Structure 1
Amino acid sequence: MGIEETLPNDDDVEKAQAPPVVPQRITFRDDNKKDHVDKTSTGYAQRPHSRASISSSRPQSRSQSRSRSRARSISEMSIEFRRMSFQVEDSKRGEYISVDSSNESTNDTTAAGGGGKKVEDDSGGSFDNVSFHTLPAEILCNQLDANPDNGLSSTEAGARLARDGANTLPRPRQNYIVKLLKYIFGGFCSVLWVGVIIFFICWRPLGDPDPDPYNLGLAVLVLIVIFLQASFSAFQDWSTAQTMKAILDLLPAEAVVIRDNGQTASLKATGLVVGDIVKVSIGNKVPADLRLLSTSSDVRFDRSMLTGESEEVEGVTAATSHNFLETRNIALMGSMVTNGSATGVVILTGARSVMGHIALTTTSVKPQPTLIQREISRFVLIIVCLTVVLAALLLFTWAGWLRVKHAAFMDVIAMLDDVMGCVVAFIPEGMPVGVALTLMMVARRMKAHNILPKGLSTVETLGCVNVICSDKTGTLTENRMAVVTAAFVDETMPVSAATQLLEKDNSPAALRQLHTAAALCNDGTFDASTLDQPVMERLVHGNATDGAMLKFVESVQAESSSSLKAANREIFQIPFNSTNKWMLTLHEIKPSTTEFLMIIKGASDILLPRCTQYWSYKTNSIHPLDMSVTGQLVSQQQQQMSRNAERVLMLCQRTITPKQQLGSNAFSDEIQSAAMSDLCLIGLLGIVDPPRSETAATVAACRRAGVRFLMVTGDLGATGAAIARDVGIFSSGAREPDTFDTIVKRRLQGNNNSELEKNSESSESLVLEGPAISQLTAADWDIVCRYREIVFGRTLPEQKLRIVNEFRARDDNVVAVTGDGVNDAPAMRAADVGIAVASGSDVALEAADLVLLDNQLSSIIDAIRLGRLVFQNLQKVISYLLPAGSWSEIWPVILNVFFGVPLPLSSFLMIIICVFTDLFLALALITEREEFDLLALPPRNVKRDRLITLKIYIQSYLFMGVMQTVCAHAMFFLYFWRHAHIPFHALVFAYEGYSDGFYGYTADELAHFNTAGQSVYFITLVFLQWGNILSVRNKRLSIVQADPFFSKERRNLWLLAGAAVSLAIAVFVTEEPGIQRIFGTASAPIEFWFLPLPLAVGVLCMDEIRKLVVRMWPGGPVARIAW
């Protein structure tokens, strides 16, 4: 069909009258396929109004960090998409375009790597002149050397792949200058630069005419620290990107294509080439830019990743706009199929696609701070505020008192050295490194457990999850369905008996009708590569329900599915969707040309009220169906099958003589109307989907971990409840679960918060179905959300979304949603953590934050455990860093300024402790395994259980910090007593008295004593931190119960490596002559390398006593303040 009229602009298209809205997906099966969308006089299909479907609502209830990150990524891509679209519009505006089919084949310039021509690939206007969307499908396929029926041959596809390259997206351009500046000046480095400037000023000009190399050395040292931080940040970003890229590559990304003489096959999307014929259906991500060749009437594409618009667009086969980026007959790479199905030819791949152009031009999205990063920022803000207050106090004390009363004690340079040394050392430079490495290491551990976190923020959130809402089919069950029961109004039999009867020539007519209906009303097809295998082991293309029915049909050797379909050619179809819950097919009845056979399958509770007749198994004839009698029998039969954990599928038929013309909208309306009444019930099929072998253990582990495990399914509540009992969601031996009537009763009785626990007539279990969910009030939800065991049945996608939002809005719940289908995607997006199995639909994988690569539900338990381990280890790292890195470094400055004591610890040694000696041991803590069974603890409350709590401050400052400060000062004063014979009381309030002639020593000798004493203080802290790290690695257990060297479960030899490195650093900075000369360190007497060791043991023993008290008196005052 050529397009011979002048193309309208978008305004004209919008003003055109829209075609009638068809609420179901409709497919015409005719030799001359007709699009259901009317054509305008211009030759364009009218632009239809988008109609809502399962994911048209974009929930905004996500956690802020995730929603912002996703919003930014969509925003940046949509801005570039709009820029490109406007550019195409500008180039088209005012241009008279005449599309003549006789000229298009010779003038086309858009065959992007196709059969004969190449696309003009300039970044400025690469989509201005393309005509993929305006060419008739036949001409386009000819130009691309594509055959819509047979597809490409493997040889031709291989040649095109070698020529054009893989179907992969290019990386976005990076602004490396901005990234470099961020590494050097961002975060803590901005504060360190202030220190560098101050130290340089202290060196010159304040130090002139005799500048002290010490200040220059400090400035250079802090510069080294800055560049080390920047280098690590750069490496960490690169390493994280490589890690996430490696595990993201493990995600399945396949496409269903037609190749090699019409064979349907699945292959990796990266192997698609221009000219491939691709099938997409609900739940798929569009793998390349496609020109649609055939569509179902309700096919919908979610383009929000590209356009930023949440409204879905309908797919049609004719152009709706001259703008390639706006027309509806092009499915763009990255779009999601949220409803319906379509077939298209690949026109652009990889970098040539629209998504490829956007990927090349958009900048990378700035990641948002995670929960733990915000906790760290909160902690750092507190520390920085305290540091600023202390620095201001020191400055004002010097200016108002020391400068006046003790002018010779501390000059401007010494004061600035003390203040800036305190500020620089007090900032926990190792903290961001520890956080990043911890998250990255746990992400690697998750990969080893076949768990893919798409972002590091997911790792930490998992530890807070206390509610899991899980889909049933394919998640709790294997999604390997099999027909087990065939039932009629007056007979029920196992499928094995039905199969045996069907092999006989005189099989019952009702059973033959059921067998035929199962074959005809079925979209499943066997994969060609598995046809030589037994029927039950063959791979099926299609949904699991169709697959089960297809295998039931094919198990009867007397008559195959293909022969039944050939004898009853399908001409029309309304496929199943989650809203209607039924599927319809229309077939020819030979030799009649006016009568057609309608077959409908679907949910029994939906179809039974439409039935007026039924097939009798015993009489082999059709009888009237009385809803009060026969209908009741069918309902009882359905309930019994549901209680056996069977999905119940009803099959009905009707003969119809349509009055409207085949292929018209009126025809489709007539068929839909006929499907609403006067149906003949053929029978029921009971389909079993066995639970996964690990499901029961997973549910039990979640229950033990304090996580409620809820089922949200589209099946009947009775079916879901039966599975729930099998897998432990409903406790064994529990009474019958409560229902909606119970909720209403409680509402009328004035339920209070304790009603659920007090009411002896109540069960802990609840079963709610979709219609009841819609009737729940806010007060009802307060009751529902307190149940421990819940099955939500017959739920629609929007109801799943509401369930998630209602739980998240109450009791500080952190909700995870598991699923594998497109119906689960909205709820997964709204949840705090969306979890998908790798075998799930592309839409589910896109919506998920976490992917179970091995499809094992039990991996969720490992993910929760590792999420909790992250939080525990970070608390230990912080508790280790605070005593020496903050508390024990502040007190030397306080004693120096307020008590006139010679400075016990220099700024240089403060920096060495924070950045080097403490950091290596802290990194060893990152590798710690769990101290005790983390799954035995309740989930963390994100609002109450902070990363840094008052208990940690008490432990780190008032307990461990005080002991370390006292011990280190004791060693400092002991050194003066033993080697300078200067008593403690003489050093206190010495001020400017500590100068030439003090106790008969020269100024140089006194300076040596001071620097050696500082080295002693420094060495003592290094050793004391050994005792500290052995203490903090166990919150409750004794070191005897979990030692780091001989305990197999808790062995951590990295502690030895960290201790060795910190000792080597201590030796180097105190013994190296160059360091001594520049930074004023000195060799410590040999005994002070050994005296701190018993002090470290003493610190460890004191904490062991504290833990013992906590264990013996868990309700005592010590236990109440224990971290």
Structure 2
Amino acid sequence: MTVPTETPNATRATPPPWTRTAETVGATHQTDIDHGLTTALAAKKQAEHGPNKLVEGDAVSPFFLFLEQFKSPLLIILMIGAAISFYTQHYVDAVAIAVIVLINAVISFLQEYRAAQSLAALKDMAAPMAMVKRDGTWIEIPAVDIVPGDLLRFKAGDIIAADVRFTDAARLAVDEAALTGESEPVDKHTLPIEDANIVLADRLNMGFMSTKVTNGTGEGIVTATGMQTEVGHIAHLMATAEDPKTPLQLRIEKLSKVLIGAALAVVAVVIGIGIFQGMDMTEMLNTAISLSVAAIPEGLPTVVTIVLTLGSQRMASNNALARKLSSVETLGTTSVICSDKTGTLTQNQMQVMRAWAGGKTWDVTGEGFDPNGAFVDAQGNEADIRKEFDLRQMLNISAYCNDADLVTVDGRASVQGNPTEGALVVAAAKVGLSRDRLRERNVQTLESFPFDSTRKMMSLHVQTPSGEKFLVAKGAPDVILNRAKGVWMNGAVHPLTDAMRAEVEAVIDDFGSRALRTLAVAYRQTDDGIFDPTDPEQDIVLIGIHGIMDPPRPEVRDAVSDATSAGIRTVMITGDHAKTAQAIAEQIGIKTRDDQTVHTGADLDQMSDEQLEAVVPNAAVFARVTPEHKLRIVSAMQNTGEVAAMTGDGVNDAPALRKADIGVAMGITGTSVAKDSAALVLLDDNFSTIVKAVKEGRRIYDNLLKFVRQALTANVAEVSTILFAFILMGADPLMPLTPLMILWVNLVSDGIPALALGFEKAEGDIMQRKPRARDEDIFAGGLKQRILIRGLAVGAVSYWAFQEALSLNLDLETAQTMAFVTIMFAQLWHVFDARTTTTLFRKSPFGNPKLLMAVGLSLALSAVAVFTPLGHFVLGTASLTPQLLLGCAFVAALPTLVLSGLKEIFGWSWL
């Protein structure tokens, strides 16, 4: 089924619904505000618009996914080799090569085979049922049957079943964090909004499919269903966002092409020599088989998978769960981390950071919802709440005029209710004050006046134990200040003169400059009997102001610094306001210079892709962004050569998580949609875990390079051994190695120790290096030269052992076995040199116990191959005398010891 390509809020003949009155929107959809749609009209719309559900694209068949694995260039050349072996009746060789091909294909298939759960997870978030008004009666119907124009009703706890324009909102608040990134529930209203281009998070008269009502009640007209909703738009972006190939996959593909080109070139040279010398065609085919097997490291795909699996296990022990094996190494290549703010860089717990009461400013210590903390003045003195009357009164009102509760869940402090209100409760608890204590003292609520988006205040009419009556209130500072007649300072009410107002406004501005959300607390004594319940907050007295924010995680600043030292930029991409985002970015070290820029979603809308690519290298913060913006940012970074990691936890993050080189989802607060779209899941939602994972990714890549060096040195040695025979032995050359001997070296005697290189510890400077470039060759840093020189040296001594055996009139099987044993011993010496970019003389051989075990196992298996009848039958070997065996071992040590000694003496980095 084809996913529709139309996106919400595309160009329409009529203005968008949030800019129009509810009545106008209803008229557009033929909706009677009082009676809803008729059954007949709903059926007609159902036929026109289809069901209210998300559409999935065609799934890839597991069978075809399995067949895809055989497109690997490495496997193709092995399959050709197997076919030639079968044609020339070398059946054992053919079966062995075919088994290797099958094993590699199965491992790759199992790695890639995973159900596409992202859209299914989106569907799981949809409401199963909805309350709809049809023919003037409220009825409950399956959400899939909703059509544009339906009138829906909501209450706290309901999932909104489609995109709606609210027609009624009574204290209505909706949690849109998964869709917009807003850290708090959003208060909704029914008034039109003039700006037709306003971002999703600011469409306060709209409700969106899959978001949850957290407070109040409401009604709304359905403006979009199914794939035409905002969530449907995200589903479409997810369906069209391709998973990019990781840098490792690109490097392996490039390596495969190099190996195939080298193999074909060598085969062509040998066949050319054979034709020139008049060799038999069958002999040339046998030689071609040997060379194709020798040139390709058959164990490479398997070893890469195993090393990545081991790395993923280490990451999991550090709270980073890799959902895609290829992502394990990608972290080591990452050059920029695009991080969400809420919950990743911050604690996702609103906290009072500063307070102003009675003319005095206090810093508030502590973390999140933990009630341990204190109020500290400018001199560093903690407040004695018994003596600080102004502060005590402010906190008592804050705790009592409040709907949130501080509770303990699984031994941890938590807040039930609005997080901002919860922050006030926690602040009061830090000095031992609470609503329960006031109730124990017989403070009684006479009447409540709930918060709503129009009044922007909440107040209670209370009576104290002495019989005095007060109105206590909290709300937006500008609203409170406009209704205030005075300010409480030093135990008395001071008139709100222009100078006093300026002082209070300076406090509000100061808090705002620190990215603190402000909330004012006020009161009024009502014993005089003058009290109007229709407008209770008259002539109130301001007593204090709270400065609230979701503070950074304590460890994040060090983690950002570590990333910077490793050459990795951190860029904040958030749905929050630019001012708040910039303040957090400056606090934690993301924005440290004036030339680092801050951009909003509105700014991005005015930029072309080329302009955005010019901006991203110096950008520190992108705020108030949409899913499309995130996709554009990631694409711009990739187009400028960056390897981008993107973090996220919401539905709105899913397309960018899929598009990024590595998507990182939050394991605790993340939606299932985000997790299923990501390659890595943080089990602790902690930014510092990403930096630890980067270190592990770099270690893994280093170790993969060590394996490539070890494996390809063996391949060059095998190919050159055969080439030396063809070039130096004239018209009737003999094969120094059989195809199965070569397979044995690649997979067993060399493969097992090479695999142990995956357990090497990280180099000391691993987090001081700059990230590798996206297009950096796998042979960078002189690796190609080292492989060729060492491989040719090993090939030379192996051919010498073969030729020496023939000169002693030993039989062909014994001569081949001597070449075989020489290569095996040479690779066991070389594996200790492959552990480092310096020389084996500078690294203790006992630093990797698993390598020593692997070398021992390799020696044992090689003994079986050489000295047992089974080895003689399968590989065509012959038993060697102790003298011949020791001679091969000595000759095999020369390439590594001599070349490493020269490098140590002369410092030649390419050697």
Q: What TM-score range do you get, normalising by the shorter chain? A: 0.5 to 0.7
Which digits, 9 at most, give the CA deviation of each residue in 1:610-660, with x for residues without a partner? 95866422497696675xx666534532455568x68241338999xxxxx
Separation in 2 of the partners of 1:858 and 1:822?
Answer: 23
Which digits, 9 at most, give the CA deviation of each residue in 1:401-431, with x for residues without a partner? 23xxx3xxx3222121111221133222111
Separation in 2 of the partners of 1:377 and 1:853?
Answer: 32
Go from structure 1 to structure 2 and tell me whether the alpha carbon gap of 1:544 and 1:1098 turns closer, same or farther (over 3 Å shift): farther
Task: Identify the residue that residue 1088 of structure 1 maps to in structure 2.
Answer: 884
Residue 782 of structure 2 corresponds to residue 955 of structure 1: no
What SS class does the counterpart of residue 617 from structure 1 fall into? strand
Task: Identify the residue that residue 584 of structure 1 maps to in structure 2.
Answer: 456
Task: Identify the residue that residue 822 of structure 2 maps to in structure 1.
Answer: 1020
Task: Report matched runs for 1:592-611 at 5 Å.
Answer: 601=475, 607=478, 611=482
The structural deviation recorded for 1:433 is 0.7
Instruction: Percent identity, please.
Output: 22
Task: Identify the residue that residue 225 of structure 1 maps to in structure 2.
Answer: 100
Which digits, 9 at most, give the CA deviation of each residue in 1:291-350, with x for residues without a partner? xx999486769899xxxxxxxxx999xxxxxxxxxxxxxxxxx98539977999xxxxxx
Go from structure 1 to structure 2 and tell me whether the alpha carbon gap of 1:226 and 1:776 turns closer, same or farther (over 3 Å shift): closer
Task: Identify the residue that residue 265 of structure 2 maps to in structure 1.
Answer: 389
8 Å contact 2:486–2:494 — kept in the other structure? yes
What SS class does the counterpart of residue 767 from structure 2 fall into? helix
Task: Identify the residue that residue 573 of structure 1 maps to in structure 2.
Answer: 452
* Matching residue's letter, 1:337: T
Which digits, 9 at most, give the CA deviation of each residue in 1:750-806, with x for residues without a partner? xxxxxxxxxxxxxxxx5858699779989998997666xx87597566898499559
Q: Which of 630, 633, 642 is the matching residue for 1:813?
A: 642
Separation in 1 of the partners of 2:440 and 2:567?
Answer: 49
What SS class does the counterpart of residue 1044 from structure 1 fall into? coil
Separation in 1 of the partners of 2:338 and 2:790?
Answer: 43
What SS class does the counterpart of residue 463 from structure 1 fall into? helix
Task: Identify the residue that residue 547 of structure 1 maps to in structure 2.
Answer: 422
What SS class does the counterpart of residue 573 from structure 1 fall into? coil
Task: Report matched runs for 1:867-878 at 5 Å.
Answer: 867-878=697-708
Which digits, 9 at most, give the CA deviation of each residue in 1:536-570, with x for residues without a partner? x7421345433212334672456469999964445
Separation in 2 of the partners of 1:451 and 1:477?
Answer: 18
Task: Identify the residue that residue 1052 of structure 1 maps to in structure 2.
Answer: 848
8 Å contact 1:295–1:341 — kept in the other structure? yes
Task: Identify the residue that residue 754 of structure 2 maps to in structure 1.
Answer: 922
Is 932-941 or 697-706 further displaced after alignment? 697-706
What SS class does the counterpart of residue 1090 from structure 1 fall into? helix
What SS class does the counterpart of residue 1084 from structure 1 fall into? coil
The structural deviation recorded for 1:445 is 0.4
Provide the alpha-carbon RMSD of the alignment. 6.1
Separation in 1 of the partners of 2:303 and 2:647?
Answer: 31
Separation in 1 of the partners of 2:356 and 2:720?
Answer: 82
8 Å contact 1:418–1:893 — kept in the other structure? no
Q: Which of 33, 42, 55 is the matching residue for 1:38?
A: 33
Separation in 2 of the partners of 1:920 and 1:178?
Answer: 32
Separation in 1 of the partners of 2:479 and 2:254?
Answer: 60
Which digits, 9 at most, give the CA deviation of each residue in 1:672-701, with x for residues without a partner? xxx9xx999774202476654433432332
Which digits, 9 at most, give the CA deviation of each residue in 1:840-883, with x for residues without a partner? 34376566543332344432332011110121111111111112
Q: Which of 1081, 1092, 1097 is the matching residue for 2:893?
A: 1097
Separation in 1 of the partners of 2:622 and 2:497?
Answer: 27
Separation in 2 of the partners of 1:882 and 1:653?
Answer: 76
* Matching residue's letter, 1:380: S
Separation in 2 of the partners of 1:303 and 1:233?
Answer: 34
The structural deviation recorded for 1:720 is 6.0
* Matching residue's letter, 1:436: T
Go from structure 1 to structure 2 and tell me whether the alpha carbon gap of 1:343 and 1:916 turns closer, same or farther (over 3 Å shift): farther
Residue 563 of structure 2 corresponds to residue 702 of structure 1: yes
8 Å contact 1:880–1:1029 — kept in the other structure? yes
Go from structure 1 to structure 2 and tell me whether the alpha carbon gap of 1:1017 and 1:299 turns closer, same or farther (over 3 Å shift): same
Task: Identify the residue that residue 1030 of structure 1 maps to in structure 2.
Answer: 832
8 Å contact 1:879–1:952 — kept in the other structure? yes
* Matching residue's letter, 2:828: W
8 Å contact 1:464–1:940 — kept in the other structure? yes
Separation in 1 of the partners of 2:245 and 2:461?
Answer: 64
Q: Which of 265, 272, 283 is the matching residue for 1:414?
A: 283
The structural deviation recorded for 1:379 is 0.7
What SS class does the counterpart of residue 452 from structure 1 fall into? strand
8 Å contact 2:601–2:625 — kept in the other structure? no
Task: Report matched runs for 1:415-814 at 5 Å.
Answer: 415-470=284-339, 474-483=343-352, 485-487=354-356, 492=361, 516=397, 524-527=404-407, 538-542=413-417, 544-552=419-427, 555-557=433-435, 559=438, 567-569=446-448, 573-574=452-453, 584=456, 601=475, 607=478, 611=482, 615-618=486-489, 632-638=502-508, 640-641=510-511, 647-651=516-520, 683-687=544-548, 692-709=553-570, 714=576, 724=586, 739=594, 768=598, 792=621, 801=630, 804-805=633-634, 808=637, 812-814=641-643
Task: Identify the residue that residue 183 of structure 2 maps to in structure 1.
Answer: none
Residue 25 of structure 2 corresponds to residue 194 of structure 1: no
8 Å contact 1:1024–1:1093 — kept in the other structure? yes
Task: Identify the residue that residue 688 of structure 2 maps to in structure 1.
Answer: 858
* Matching residue's letter, 1:38: I
Separation in 2 of the partners of 1:336 and 1:839?
Answer: 19
Separation in 2 of the partners of 1:24 and 1:637?
Answer: 38
Q: Which of 251, 270, 274 is the matching residue for 1:375?
A: 251
What SS class does the counterpart of residue 1091 from structure 1 fall into? helix
8 Å contact 2:582–2:598 — kept in the other structure? no
8 Å contact 1:519–1:564 — kept in the other structure? no
8 Å contact 2:179–2:652 — kept in the other structure? no
Go from structure 1 to structure 2 and tell me whether the alpha carbon gap of 1:836 and 1:1088 turns closer, same or farther (over 3 Å shift): same
Separation in 2 of the partners of 1:177 and 1:718?
Answer: 50
Separation in 1 of the partners of 2:835 and 2:650?
Answer: 43
Task: Report matched runs for 1:253-264 at 5 Å.
Answer: none
Go from structure 1 to structure 2 and tell me whether the alpha carbon gap of 1:450 and 1:551 turns closer, same or farther (over 3 Å shift): same
Which digits, 9 at most, give the CA deviation of each residue in 1:112-166, with x for residues without a partner? xxxxxxxxxxxxxxx99x9x9xxxxxxxxxxxxxxxxxxxxxxxxxxxxxxxxxx
What SS class does the counterpart of residue 694 from structure 2 fall into? helix
| TM-score w.r.t. length of structure 1 | 0.56
* Matching residue's letter, 1:573: D
* Matching residue's letter, 1:483: V
What SS class does the counterpart of residue 760 from structure 2 fall into? coil
Task: Identify the residue that residue 844 of structure 2 maps to in structure 1.
Answer: 1043
Which digits, 9 at most, give the CA deviation of each residue in 1:708-749, with x for residues without a partner? 345667578599658845x5667xxxxxx765xxx6xxxxxx
Separation in 1 of the partners of 2:362 and 2:103?
Answer: 75
* Structure 2: 5+ residue stretches without partners: 1-11, 23-30, 118-123, 128-153, 163-168, 181-187, 191-207, 219-230, 232-238, 365-373, 377-381, 464-470, 525-534
Separation in 2 of the partners of 1:608 and 1:278?
Answer: 28
Task: Identify the residue that residue 879 of structure 1 maps to in structure 2.
Answer: 709
Is 894-903 or 608-617 further displaced after alignment? 608-617
Separation in 1 of the partners of 2:70 and 2:264?
Answer: 22
Separation in 1 of the partners of 2:865 and 2:415?
Answer: 69
Task: Identify the residue that residue 840 of structure 1 maps to in structure 2.
Answer: 669
Separation in 1 of the partners of 2:660 and 2:520?
Answer: 36
Task: Identify the residue that residue 158 of structure 1 maps to in structure 2.
Answer: none
Separation in 1 of the partners of 2:417 and 2:681?
Answer: 22
8 Å contact 2:522–2:543 — kept in the other structure? yes
The structural deviation recorded for 1:1013 is 1.3
Separation in 2 of the partners of 1:564 and 1:832?
Answer: 58
* Matching residue's letter, 1:220: V
The structural deviation recorded for 1:372 is 1.0
Task: Identify the residue that residue 940 of structure 1 maps to in structure 2.
Answer: 772
Which digits, 9 at most, give the CA deviation of each residue in 1:152-186, with x for residues without a partner? xxxxxxxxxxxxxxxxxxxx999665566667897
What SS class does the counterpart of residue 540 from structure 1 fall into? strand
